[in-house]
Amino acid sequence: MMDNQTLISECRKLTAQGKDHEEIMHFLRAEGCSKVTSIAIIARVLEVGLGQAKEIVHASQTWADVRERDDRFHNSLGENLTQEEG
């Protein structure tokens, strides 16, 4: 896998070529990037905050196969935190 700076550079080239967010995420995943790494790179390439980058990546078709699993994880984490506070 390329280092993050090289991935960012390659993604910026793809953006300049008119590639959309989905094509960029597909490139990142094909390069072996995790979802977390993809979020960080998308944030840098699109110049958005991490929260917005997370939403873009999470809602993408590229990561649709793990969306349900991740939603369950986040929901259970939130439930556990709420129980500990109560």
Q: What is the pLDDT of residue 43?
A: 98
- Can you give the residue ranges of every domain in the chain? 4-85
| Residue 58, C-beta contacts closer than 8 angstroms, at least 6 positions apart | 35, 67, 70
pLDDT at 9 over 80: yes
pLDDT in tens, 18-36: 999 999 999 999 999 999 9
The Cα–Cα gap between 53 and 44 comes to: 9
What Rg do the C-alpha atoms of the chain give, in angstroms? 15
pLDDT in tens, 35-74: 999 999 999 999 999 999 999 999 999 999 999 998 888 7
pLDDT at 85 over 70: no
